[in-house]
Amino acid sequence: MKKILLITAGLLFLVGCSSTKKESKPEKKETAKIEQVVSKKAENYTSYLDKIDRSKVKTSDIELDLMIDIKNPKALEEENTNVFIARVISVDKAELRPNSLGNTFPYSVGKLEILKNLEGDAEGVVEFARLGGILEEKERAKNDFPEAIEKANYLREQSGKGPVETSNELVEVKANGDIYLSAGEVYLFYANWDSEWKKYTLNGFEYGALKLEDDKQPIEEVKTAENEIGKTWEVKNEGTGQQEDLGEYLEKIDVEVKEK
């Protein structure tokens, strides 16, 4: 179904009607537990990454073989139940996905304030998880297979290190070329609801987290009434540096832009 975006008097009006596999939308009660919209003061936006000394972090960028072309907005839209504009309230920590033995790839988790929905029904302040993050080796070991831990410990012993299960060494794992979200910034996201984790998983890496920028019309000054967003916003892929008019981008996912 094509959605229509009307531009009028400096505002866009939305009419109508989202990688992890698509999943049914959350029940209202599952997101209602999270505190509602917070103050727009910069000091309220926090990221655990700001407290980490990067010189002490062992980094590992990996290449992922994905099933879809994440550079294609329409492909992303078809694989996700939700497309929304949201502000990053906090990036709280990195953790492993629950009940996923053998998966030691960390997720950065935190909270988003949903500003505008393009698809799906996310609202208020919600929790998110996004692949990539920094955490202690002993935390990763909790999710690993016993044989993998045994092999790791053998290699660590050869280099004079203690067991991985007790290691406080920080390890960063993320997809090659991907970005971290910046607390306080606003992005256009593609997401699916994870009913087990009770979080929205943000998908598409840097192509699924497009920063919204507008020097002429700061986002804080845009009216927040339902179905309104700023007219002159641009989306920026921070991984590639590519910028594009928001309206032109949205047309790629069947949000048609018309002058009123």
109-127 per-position pLDDT tens digit: 999 999 888 899 999 999 9
pLDDT tens column, 77-106: 999 999 999 999 999 999 999 888 888 999
Helix (H, G, I), strand (E, B) or coil at 57: strand
Contacts of 183 (CB under 8 A, 6+ apart): 45, 46, 47, 88, 89, 90, 91, 110
pLDDT band at 259 (very low <50, low <70, confident <90, very high): very low
The larger pLDDT score, comparing residue 50 to residue 226, is at 50
- For residue 29, the model assigns a pLDDT of 32
| Long-range contacts of residues 26-33, Cβ cutoff 8 Å, at least 24 apart | 26/193, 26/195, 26/198, 30/195, 30/198, 31/122, 31/123, 31/124, 31/126, 32/124
Query: What residue type is assigned to position 98 of the chain?
Result: P
Query: What residue type is assigned to position 123 of the chain?
Result: E
**Distance of alpha carbon 51 from alpha carbon 53, whole angstroms:** 7
- For residue 182, the model assigns a pLDDT of 95
Token pair in block for residue 159: 């280099």
What number is the average pLDDT over the span 187-193? Answer: 96
pLDDT tens column, 11-53: 333 333 334 445 545 543 333 222 333 334 455 899 999 999 9
Tell whether the model's pLDDT for residue 145 goes beyond 90: yes
Q: Across the strands, what pairs with 211?
A: 187, 236
- For residue 210, the model assigns a pLDDT of 95
Helix (H, G, I), strand (E, B) or coil at 40: coil
- For residue 197, the model assigns a pLDDT of 94
pLDDT tens column, 123-144: 999 999 999 999 999 999 999 9
Tell whether the model's pLDDT for residue 179 goes beyond 80: yes
Q: Percentage of residues in the chain with pLDDT exceeding 70?
A: 74
* Alpha-carbon dihedral sign for residues 143, 144, 145, 147: negative
**Distance of alpha carbon 59 from alpha carbon 136, whole angstroms:** 12
- For residue 213, the model assigns a pLDDT of 77
- For residue 193, the model assigns a pLDDT of 96
- For residue 18, the model assigns a pLDDT of 32
- For residue 246, the model assigns a pLDDT of 85
Tell whether the model's pLDDT for residue 153 goes beyond 80: yes
Q: How distant is the alpha carbon of residue 233 from its chain centre?
A: 19
Quickly tell me which residue has 């290190």 as its tokens: 161
